[in-house]
Each structure stands twice: as structure tokens, then as C-alpha cells.
Amino acid sequence: MNRLVPPPLRAGDLIRVIAPSMSKAVVDEHDHSARIEQRLRALGLRLSYAEHIDERDAFSSAAIEHRLADLHAAFTDTAVAGILTVIGGANANELLPQIDWELIAAHPKTFCGYSDITALQAAMLARAGLVTFSGPHWSSFGMRDHFEATLESFRRTLFEREPVAVGAADVFSDDPWFLDQDLRVRSESDGWWRLSEGEASGTIVGGNLCTLNLLQGTPYMPSLAGAVLIVEDDAGSDVQDVARNLTSLLQLPDASELRGLVIGRFQHETQMTRALMAEICARQPALAGVPVLANCDVGHTFPMATVPIGGHAEMSARRAVPRLVVAVSKK
């Protein structure tokens, strides 16, 4: 399938904010909207909000048909250049059977979010060939401090079309910043982990590991053949969860054609260590001879790199300093 690359964002573009998973009403409990809008306006972006974005049912979401309508409306509205998700959640995959994939393919535009939004991004790649962006939510822009590197990665990846080298942060944050902007905790990073040496390039597939695994056996799972798999998980998955989820993913038939694996930094609560991650990867037959980097700056800690799902990655786990370069399309 040919890849559909959305046009880069430009100053003056209109962004539609949608809630295909958890409702904006949940985010608004912490009331960071003014800072969010100010930050996005500073990028030259204008904002509009989906009709059902504040609906909240027993699952902290809008009804399936309303979330679906907001998604379709965002893609079909010719005034809208890009789409930002409010936040993640647990049920974006409910929308998949009813999404009009021909409609999505006919209106390629920037679509950015992460975590539970992985279900939509992977399916858009598999069914419509659309390159999307695993990166900050609308809500992420409410972080007052230590957001600069995340913002710069978002800007470069969505506004420009040159390859972007993903930086390795010296310090990172993994704290409930949204509860108290004055109480921030920063941790020293021990760098990226080279778990298996080598170099690779290929199509980027991935996102949130446990969410991606929900798509196995469905028409919405993108192929791992020829892919650089970039995955991460949050504090809801402990070491055992990560091990079995990665094992399951790498037992897919086309995992034998995987070219490289990049694993995001884990949150402290998972209690993941380099030794444990190395052991998990060493147990995977599909990773024999495949370069593996871990503890990278993607996922649920900050800074967070914006990664084009369906784009192109070049990785090196052979150098003294590991390297990952991502691009919306292969040059």
C-alpha cells in the first residue's frame, strides 16, 4: 500500500481537537486549558473543538457514535489541517469497525496523539496507508515546565519534512505534573541501552505496546515485515506484562522480517531495569540478529519525541552513541 503523507502544518492552520478515547471533561478537572491554547497559538495554530468532546459517560468517554462522528467530521472539514487528540484512555479501538477508511484516505491530514490513540494510528496505517504521529496530546501542552524538548520535536516533525534525530535526554520527568505544576521531579537518565548491536532502517510501526497488541488477529494490525518497531508502555504494565506483550507481538508470523526494535523509556512504577529488559529481549527468537535500543525518549515520560507512524526510521545500535533518525517519508 502506498503511504499517504499529510501536508506539513503551517502557521495559520486550523487544528481540530477530538476525544476518541477519554473525554475532555476529565482533563478539564485540572484546568490547564489557557496554557494549552496559549502554547499552540504560539506555534501559529488556531483551535476548534469537536462537537461531543465534553461528553462523559460511565466509561469517561462519549458514545461510540458521537466519537466516530467527531473523527469523521475532523477529516472531512476542509478548513481543518490537523487533528489533536485530547488524551488517551482505554477504548479508542471501539471505533475501528465503523471508521470509513476511504474517507480517511481521501482527506489525509496530520493526526497526533499517543497511548490509547495507538489503536487508531495503527489502523489508519493498515487500512488507509496514512502516516500519523505518535506525539503529545492536546492536554500535554498544559505542562508548564520542562516541556521545551517535547515541543521542539513536535514542531520539527509536524511543521518540517527533513529527517529528525531523536535526542537522548540527560534528565527526564515522570511525575503527575497535571496535579501540581510546582512539584516537579526530574531524574537522571542512564542513556539509551544498546541491547543488541547493529544498524537498521525501515517503516515505523508501533506506539503503545499493550494497545498495539489489541489489534492482533484483526484487519487493523499493520505488518511488521520490513519495519523498525518502536514501542513503549506506561505504568499500568509491569515487567511481566511487558514481557508477555512483547513476546506475543514478536510471535506474529511477519515478525521474522522485523528489521529493528526501539523500546521507549519506562515509567518508574514499572520497575523495569536494563538487566530485565535485556533478558526479555534475549528470550525472543524473532530478535536474533536484530538491533535493539531501549530506554529511548519516546512514550509516557518527558521529553517525548514525536514519531511518524508509517514514516521511515534509521537506527544504529553499533555506535558509541546510539542513533535514531525519523522522517515522515523516505528520501
Q: Which of 55, 140, 153, 232 is catalytic?
A: 232
Residue in 179, 181, 140 with CA at minimum distance from that of residue 33? 140
Is residue 66 part of the annotated active site? The answer reads no
- How many helices and strands in the chain, by DSSP H and E? 9, 16
Is residue 72 part of the annotated active site? The answer reads no
Q: Which of 21, 61, 115, 316 is catalytic?
A: 115
Q: Which of 237, 300, 312, 316 is catalytic?
A: 300
- Identify whether the C-beta of residue 28 lies closer than 8 Å to the C-beta of residue 36: no
Residue 66 has which C-alpha cell? 458521537
Is residue 232 part of the annotated active site? The answer reads yes
Distance, in Å, from the CA atom of 93 to the CA atom of 200, rounded to the nearest integer, reads 30
- For CA atoms 75, 77, 81, 87, the dihedral sign is negative
Distance, in Å, from the CA atom of 266 to the CA atom of 284, rounded to the nearest integer, reads 19
CA distances from 200 to 161, 258, 265, 319 (A): 21, 10, 20, 13
Q: How many CB atoms lie within 10 A of CB 217?
A: 8
Distance, in Å, from the CA atom of 296 to the CA atom of 309, rounded to the nearest integer, reads 16
- Identify whether the C-beta of residue 271 lies closer than 8 Å to the C-beta of residue 287: no
- Identify whether the C-beta of residue 5 lies closer than 8 Å to the C-beta of residue 329: yes
**Annotated active-site positions, please?**
115, 232, 300
